[in-house]
Chain A
Amino acid sequence: NAGVTQTPKFQVLKTGQSMTLQCAQDMNHEYMSWYRQDPGMGLRLIHYSVGAGITDQGEVPNGYNVSRSTTEDFPLRLLSAAPSQTSVYFCASREGPGSDEQYFGPGTRLTVT
């Protein structure tokens, strides 16, 4: 099993550009989430999904869209990048209700200039 994979590992965008961060898991997990991690602030939940076709907003959803058309994939779209979105983005998955452990991908380091 590859676990949770994320692409790209690094990305530089100009203000106003859009892009999609990819996330995939091969563990057949129901739940998937996107977080951003900024210095001194810990990880903050952007969006999450409890199953294919179901998504919900987390703590900091503005400026981001998600979709969950399959169990395996959970892409995060930045609609119009801003310098405030410079961060490290982590995708995570867990088995489902009652499961404790979240498995994280290796992260995407995004810089918006």
Chain B
Amino acid sequence: RKEVEQDPGPFNVPEGATVAFNCTYSNSASQSFFWYRQDCRKEPKLLMSVYSSGNEDGRFTAQLNRASQYISLLIRDSKLSDSATYLCVVNFNNDMRFGAGTRLTVKP
């Protein structure tokens, strides 16, 4: 079983749609959690950290459920520029574990 699992997609949605990605992790002692964005053939970049209380950054909302070992990312009012692969990342003692990513394509 992979340590961090994501639905690989692809998710193909129209502009303006709301889309949600899920991620589960196996190490219950994991300490911090993130969503990264990766454009095709580029390096990953931090989208947002994920906190137990949930956090929002504009159109993006991230949630963490430690009891269920589950992380989510919600994107509202999708833009064409949101097309990318979204990586779920879980940290335990400086060992960052990445999910394989969920690919999103937003279409006009």
Contacts and interface: CB of A to CB of B under 8 A. Distances in A.
A100 B100 contact: no
A45 B43 CA distance: 15
* From B32, B34, B43, B49, residue with most partner A Cβ within 10 Å: B43
Nearest to A44: B98
Contacts of B99: 42
Interface residues of B, number: 19
Instruction: For chain A, give the interface size range.
Output: 20 to 34
Interface string A39-73: 01111110010100000101100000000000000
A107 interface: yes
Interface in B22-63: 32, 34, 42-46, 49
* From B32, B42, B94, B97, residue with most partner A Cβ within 10 Å: B94
A42 B4 contact: yes
Contacts of B98: 35, 42-44
A85 interface: no
Contacts of A44: 98
Given A101-B46, A106-B43, A45 B95 contact: yes
Main secondary structure of the interface of B (DSSP, over half): strand
A48 to B, nearest CB: 6
Contact of B44 (A31, A100, A104): A104
A90 B95 contact: no
B80 interface: no
Given A90-B43, A101-B46, A42 B100 contact: yes
23 contacts: A31-B94, A35-B98, A42-B4, A42-B99, A43-B44, A43-B87, A45-B96, A45-B97, A56-B94, A58-B95, A59-B97, A90-B43, A100-B34, A100-B46, A100-B49, A101-B46, A102-B44, A102-B46, A102-B96, A105-B43, A106-B43, A107-B42, A107-B43
